[in-house]
Amino acid sequence: MTHLRQTLVVAGHGMVGHRFVQAAVERGLTERFDIVVVGQEPRPAYDRVALTSFFSAASADELSLLPEGRYDDPRVRLTLGTTVEAVDRDARTVTLDSGETLGYDVLVLATGAGPFVPPVPGHDLDGCFVYRTIEDLEAIRDAAATAKAGAVIGGGLLGLEAANALVSLGLETHVVEMAPRLMPVQLDEAGGGTLVRHIEKLGVEVHCGAATQRVVDVDGRVAGLELAHRTVDAEIVVFSAGIRPRDQLARACGLPVAERGGVLVDEQCRTEDPHVFAIGECAAPGGRMYGLVAPGYSMAEVVVDTLLGGEGSFTGADMSTKLKLLGVDVASFGDAFATTPGSLELIFADAVAGVYKKLVVSVDQDGNASRLLGGILVGDASAYGTLRPLVSSGITLPANPEELILPASRGGAAPVGMPDDAVVCSCNNITKAAVCGAVDGSADRPGCADVACIKSCTRAGSTCGSCVPVLKNLLDERLAAAGRLVRTGICEHFDLSRQELFDVVAVHGYRTFDDLVTAHGRGRGCDVCKPAVASILASQLNGHVLDESTVALQDTNDAYLANIQRNGTYSVVPRVPGGEITPDRLIVIGEVARDFALYTKITGGQRIDLLGARLEQLPAIWRRLVDAGFESGHAYGKSLRTVKSCVGSTWCRYGVQDSVRLAIDLENRYRGLRSPHKIKAGVSGCARECAEARGKDFGVIATEKGWNLYVGGNGGANPAHAQLLATDLDTETLVRYVDRFLMYYIRTADRLQRTSTWIGALDGGLDRVRAVVVDDELGLGAELEADMARHVDTYFDEWRATLEDPEKLSRFVSFVNAPGTPDPTIAFTTERGQIQPVLEGEDGGPTLIAGASIPVGAR
């Protein structure tokens, strides 16, 4: 049967409107309808979920969901910068603000929602903004150029995104939330408290349970925010206190709306008028508005299915969410507040690490946990991809469900026994069966062999990305079961593993990330591949990590050559090879600690840690230390940390070899060596093992005949004992074997893989290491030794090199908009004769340092 062509008008071109058009084109709806899309904003739909990344993007185009500015299907017409002013349901026409009238057979309202601005006095002053569009962010960015402080009204998802934007612009930032905790819709009291502690470490001041009285007005401009208990300084105020459905068109044309706003629609998202549908945030299925993008996507698919004669329906949505707020992982899913009768809570909390995890479970008649109902994750949301599908699938929990959230759990793995109808991607409502079908392929389409293909075929993982670990796990399992090649790409931007990337750089001589990704990858990279490539380039080229070509790739600590601490200050750890130090150098460290008022501690690696340095103080501290002969101890890098030693045969009556001399030589040889993970070592002068060498990545223990070499040990959350690699070695042979071992590890380990897990993952384990390092079965011995010799010959001290380079030094200021100003949010008290950090809410009479912005390093 031939259908007469009809006209379908879409009012709104946000993320949901765009998804509707995509689905309409893909499923053939344009065979029956000419589609006219009317967008109010001057640009096509863009990723509003990632709006804050606009400040780090090269241009707004990087957020675009339609970078070409038009749809490939000629039957779709896109009109931008235009508003639908009125709907005439009797005539089935819409009137645009340009005066044009469009007829329709079907109208889809996708007008979204607008920001709610509380009617507090001063809300319309110059300097007040909302946080909704790219134009809003451009205005905030322009205003921040001359501002020092800003405040965000609202501590929910959008409010914390706005706070992140102000921090990224270098402003002293306040967050004001009327509820007693942050993210009150998603987090319980303990989870909200954990999130507050994380955010306050970055210098953001949080005011919960606080009502805004007025915006302070000075000469018609914002000058502060008056709260019930205090007034905070602010030249910028961002309202992010929630959203309201943009349902004015429906109201004006007589369509029913919900009590709290939103166009009332049925399970097909159809309004009272059979020719008018509503989707996304402007709609209220069952009287409820859904403020997340995933339910909007589901509504869009339902309307397309309905227009094609299908039976799709929208009966509710998974409101689970996972995101990173100000650098903190936060997730909430299912019945997070244990509202189900008879449910119980399992809680893991680590206040020191800033981790809070809660599972809500149902219990069977024997009192055992049976099903996962929901949960909250703060500080570590790596298990979200595993846990959320357990809620929807109804899988029976294991005998010890607490293992799902304990630190040793295997986050990201697809749950064993996950049924085919379990939803893997809640944003796009994609099931395990759909993902596996994409991997398996069909008669007319080859199966997927990587996550990027799965995203393209199913859209799973293409919105928030939290399900990507589960997609990778399902992909690998499916490929292995079918006997197909399992790809080991480091991330979606490279099909190559870390080892393969290392070899490619070595063979082709790439010197920048851009060159590498252009030749062997795709896209702009991510926080997985960028630091990994930075480490590879440093391992092979031994360039300064703050060089222009690599500085943007570094993790926070490497970017400032120091470890950031909980209160926004930094630690300084000079190298003390083997733990041996002269009185003169010891005095210098003491003088530096005294003159800069630093907290001083002897570490477990026989070094002295100086804590509490502000960012702008680091160069001055380094200068004093470098002038005294010290150099960077690389406490901040994935590199050699220390070679610990006992006093050995020189002093100890049990010692049989000079362990101090060897420890110093080894530390000086391998200092600055960049690697997949940090490396620690130890040398003990006898079998009494005072240096704890068998708990190190490589450890040396003296014997009467020489040295025994152990490899693959580590402490930490999953401690491992090092294993004996070779015995009774002379010093020259020992060094040769350590050279080979370290370079073999650097070449072949995965990113962030300790030597213990690397050895365990090798085919043959320790025997394989022995074959390569000791027996030289691959004939690589001389090559690995030459690689190490090149590192030794090209070593330089990163602190000294930074001090000698004005461009690198320019990074070390607390505030980009006030370079000489110290951070006012850093406070100290005194305990046991030394400074201690003070955070808001703690007692101790803090001493504040005058100043006025957010630390550069806190971003």
**pLDDT for 680 beyond 80:** yes
More confident residue, 359 or 414: 359
Neighbours of 591 (CB within 10 A): 12
> Is residue 326 scored above 80 in pLDDT?
no
Look up tokens 């001057």; give the residue.
Answer: 42
For the cut 60, the answer to whether the pLDDT of residue 849 exceeds it is no
Query: What band does 264 get if pLDDT is binned at 50, 70 and 90?
Result: very high
Classify residue 706 by its DSSP letter: E
Which residue in the block uniquely carries the two structure tokens 């420890």? 663
Same topology for domains 6-114+245-307 and 639-794, yes or no? Answer: no
pLDDT greater than 70 at residue 58: no
CA distances from 18 to 14, 23, 37, 469, 773 (A): 6, 9, 9, 26, 57
Q: How many CB atoms lie within 10 A of CB 651?
A: 10
Q: Do β-strands 698-703 and 679-684 pair in parallel, antiparallel, or remain unpaired?
A: parallel
Given a cut of 90, whether residue 323 has pLDDT beyond it is no
pLDDT at 411 over 70: no
29-38, 270-279, 828-837: which has the minimum mean pLDDT? 828-837
**What is the helix (H) or strand (E) element at residue 327, kind and residue range?**
none
Residue 1 scores a pLDDT above 80: no
CATH superfamily of 639-794: Sulfite Reductase Hemoprotein, domain 1 (3.30.413.10)
Contact 741, 773 (CB under 8 A): yes
How would you list the strands of the sheet with 608-613, edge to edge?
Answer: 563-564, 570-572, 608-613, 599-602
Task: Write the DSSP symbol of residue 626.
Answer: H
pLDDT in tens, 195-232: 998 888 888 999 999 989 999 999 999 999 999 888 99
Give yes or no for residue 287 having a pLDDT over 50.
yes
Rounded-to-integer distance, Cα 578 and Cα 650, Å: 14
Q: How many contiguous H segments (helices) and E segments (strands) does the chain have? A: 24, 39
CA distance 535 to 450: 24
Find the helix or strand (DSSP H, E) in which 299 lies. Answer: helix 293-307
Query: Which has more pLDDT, 591 or 472?
Result: 591
Q: What is the pLDDT of residue 736?
A: 97
Residue 479: the pLDDT is 80
pLDDT of residue 854: 32
**pLDDT, position 418:** 67
In the predicted structure, residue 847 carries a pLDDT above the cut 60? no
Single-letter amino acid code for the residue at 857: G
The token duo for 71 is 């749809």
Backbone angles phi, psi at 633, to 5 degrees: -90, 5
The residue extents of the domains of the chain are 6-114+245-307, 117-241, 498-554, 639-794, 827-858
Mean pLDDT of 808-816: 75
pLDDT of residue 466: 66
Write out the two tokens for 404: 């799902």
pLDDT (tens digit, 9 = 90+) per residue, 641-665? 999 999 999 888 889 999 999 999 9
Instruction: Report the range out of 62-76, 374-388, 821-835 with the highest average pLDDT.
Output: 62-76
pLDDT at 302 over 90: yes
Quote the pLDDT of residue 464: 65
Report yes or no: 236 and 264 within 8 Å, Cβ to Cβ: no
The answer to whether the CB of 558 falls within 8 A of the CB of 851 is: no
Task: Return the pLDDT at 36.
Answer: 96
Share of the chain above pLDDT 90, in %: 48
pLDDT of 848 above 70: no
List the single range of 8-22, 439-453, 707-721 with lowest mean pLDDT: 439-453
- pLDDT for the residue 153: 95
What per-residue confidence (pLDDT) applies to 846?
A: 34
Burial track 551-580 (b if 16+ CB lie within 10 A, e otherwise) = eebbbebbbbbbbbbebbbbbbbbbbbbbe
What backbone phi and psi angles, to 5 degrees, belong to 412?
95, -15
Among 599-603, 721-725, 817-821, where is mean pLDDT lowest?
Answer: 817-821
Tell me if 178 sits within 8 A of 225, measured CB to CB: no
In this structure, the number of other CB atoms found within 10 A of the CB of residue 678 comes to 19
CA-CA-CA-CA dihedral for 151, 155, 156, 157, to nearest 10: 50
Q: Evaluate if residue 477 carries a pLDDT over 70.
A: yes
Q: b or e along 811-847 (b: 16 or more beta carbons within 10 Å of the residue's beta carbon)?
A: bbbbbebeeebbbbbbbbeeeeeebbbbeeeeeeebe
* 25-63 as b/e: b if 16+ CB within 10 A: beeebbebbebbbbbbbebbbbbbbbbbebbeeeeeeeb
The answer to whether the beta carbons of residues 578 and 663 sit under 8 Å apart is yes
pLDDT, tens digit, 9 for 90 and up, residues 362-408:
988 777 778 889 999 998 887 887 788 788 777 778 777 877 887 64
Q: Which residue has the higher pLDDT, 60 or 815?
A: 60
Q: Give pLDDT tens digits for 558-602.
A: 878 888 777 778 889 999 998 889 999 999 999 999 999 998 988
| Residues 536, 675 contacting (CB under 8 angstroms) | no
Q: 773 or 834: which carries more pLDDT confidence?
A: 773
Instruction: Give the confidence band of 845 by pLDDT, cuts at 50, 70, 90.
Output: very low
**Most confident among 154-163, 379-388, 823-832 (mean pLDDT):** 154-163
What's the DSSP call for residue 515? H
- Going by CATH, does the domain composed of 117-241 fall within 3.40.50.2000? no
Least Cα distance to 85 among 267, 253, 235, 315 occurs for 253
pLDDT digits (tens, 9 = 90+) for 525-550: 887 888 889 889 988 888 888 888 78
Q: How far is CA 154 from CA 130, 322, 335, 819, in A?
A: 11, 19, 24, 30
Tell me the C-alpha distance between 347 and 401, whole Å: 11
pLDDT at 658: 94
pLDDT of residue 686 exceeding 90: yes
Give the residue with greater pLDDT, 467 vs 712: 712
What confidence tier does 852 reach under pLDDT thresholds 50, 70, 90? very low
Q: What is the pLDDT of residue 324?
A: 72
**Average pLDDT value for the chain:** 86
The confidence score (pLDDT) of residue 828 equals 82
Weakest-pLDDT range from 130-139, 181-190, 408-417, 659-668:
408-417
User: So what's the pLDDT on residue 843?
Assistant: 47
The whole-number pLDDT of residue 280 equals: 94
Six-digit token string for 501: 């990337």
What average pLDDT does range 9-27 have in this prediction? 94
Residues composing the chain: 859
**Rounded Cα distance, 577 and 681, in Å:** 11
Cα(344)–Cα(779) distance, integer angstroms: 59
* Helix, strand, coil percentages for the chain (3-state, nearest 5): 30, 25, 45
CATH annotation of 6-114+245-307:
3.50.50.60
CB 295 within 8 A of CB 313: no
Better-scored residue on pLDDT, 488 or 561: 561
What's the confidence (pLDDT) of residue 738?
97
| Arithmetic mean of pLDDT, 431-452 | 83
Mapped onto helix, strand or coil, the DSSP state of residue 476 is helix
Residue-level pLDDT at 62: 79
Contact 282, 258 (CB under 8 A): no
H or E stretch covering 845: none
The whole-number pLDDT of residue 278 equals 97
Closest CA to 498 of 540, 452, 439: 540
pLDDT tens digits, one per residue of 92-114: 999 999 999 999 999 999 999 99
Q: How many CB atoms lie within 10 A of CB 216?
A: 19
Q: How far apart are CA 231 and CA 445, in angstroms?
A: 63
How large is the average pLDDT for residues 474-496?
A: 78
| Signed CA dihedral, 232, 238, 243, 245: sign only | positive
